[in-house]
Amino acid sequence: IEPPFYCYSTALMVQRYRDLQEALKLHKPTIYYAVKANPNLAVIRTFSQQGAGADVVSLGELRRCLAAGIPANKMVFAGVGKTRSEISEALKEGVFQLNVESEPELTAINEVAESLGLIANVGLRVNPDVDAKTHAKITTGLKENKFGVDLDRAPYIFEYVAGSLKSISLKSLSVHIGSQLLDLAPYRTAYRKVAEMTLHLRSLGFEIDHLDLGGGLGISYNEEKAPDLNSFSEIVNGTVGDLGCRIGFEPGRYLVAKSVIIITKILTSKINGGINFLITDAGMQTLIRPAMYQAIHRVEALN
């Protein structure tokens, strides 16, 4: 095989999935592989064979998952910018849940569902205003971020749906505060806020039977201490474990990033400004993260 190419370890991906499943077994969660982490069809199929669901953010990702063997009723359709055609296709396919990011999106989903004669299962993504202590470009749980709705608005939105949107079933809260989290404390803060809102909504007469707790577990790139899965499970149990809700998680990077390397060949070298640059046959088009937000990837010479 000529470089550049990616080399995957199926065994390691399966082991990571099973480790997470074992650590969270007390909660009997559904693990939705976050396809945005790596949409390779063989990777998706690997998790499909383990019984995983999928977290998708586009019609293309949904179709990839169907092709890889994940049924639509084990998919969560997320993303801020869903088009009406995507909403329509997702509903026709029978996705488990659409995670909603705004009130206008709720209205659009209701209109599409009504036109199809369907009821759309929806999860309201709430923004808990929690600092995930990760890179600014992959933080999603602060008020200034575009994701979700302010947590305090949840009761008003549930009232709006109950009173005006007859083609929507809203019984779920969703939260995702960022990616590459190495410190577990933000999870505790966010999940506690979600638990408090769940109890408040129930006190108002609304049914909450499902919590989508997102993903974001980090990995060690440069000898950082990786999150302990048992500690993460204890946080889940201590915050939302006694609510009697079905629970879902959306890991991506945690499952795949340690399982793949890119093989690239040095073509030549050049010196600019006293720095010796090695020019390879791989670049930003094959590994954008270092250039995009200073991510560290270890380099090893093979010969």
Report the distance separating Cα 293 and Cα 277, nearest Å.
20
pLDDT digits (tens, 9 = 90+) for 213-254: 999 898 888 778 888 999 999 999 999 999 999 999 999 999
With CA atoms as reference, report the closest residue to 33 among 15, 61, 53, 16.
53
DSSP-based three-state secondary structure for 283:
coil
In the prediction, which pLDDT does 147 show? 58
In the prediction, which pLDDT does 52 show? 98
Report the distance separating Cα 133 and Cα 126, nearest Å.
18
pLDDT digits (tens, 9 = 90+) for 33-89: 999 999 999 999 999 999 999 999 999 999 999 999 999 999 999 988 899 999 999
pLDDT band for position 138 (cuts 50, 70, 90): very low
pLDDT digits (tens, 9 = 90+) for 86-122: 999 999 999 999 999 999 999 999 999 999 999 999 9
Is-contact 14 43, C-beta < 8 A? no
In the prediction, which pLDDT does 179 show? 81
In the prediction, which pLDDT does 68 show? 98
- The backbone region for 117, taken as left when phi is positive above 0, alpha when psi lies in -120 to 50, beta otherwise, is left
In the prediction, which pLDDT does 146 show? 52
108, 199, 201 from 206: Cα distances, Å: 22, 9, 5
Report the distance separating Cα 103 and Cα 158, nearest Å.
10
31: enclosing H helix or E strand: strand 30-34
pLDDT band for position 289 (cuts 50, 70, 90): confident
Is-contact 198 245, C-beta < 8 A? yes
- Characterize 144-173 residue by residue with b for buried, 16 or more Cβ atoms within 10 angstroms of its Cβ, and e for exposed: ebebbbebeebeebbebbeeebebbebbbb
- This prediction has a pTM of 0.90
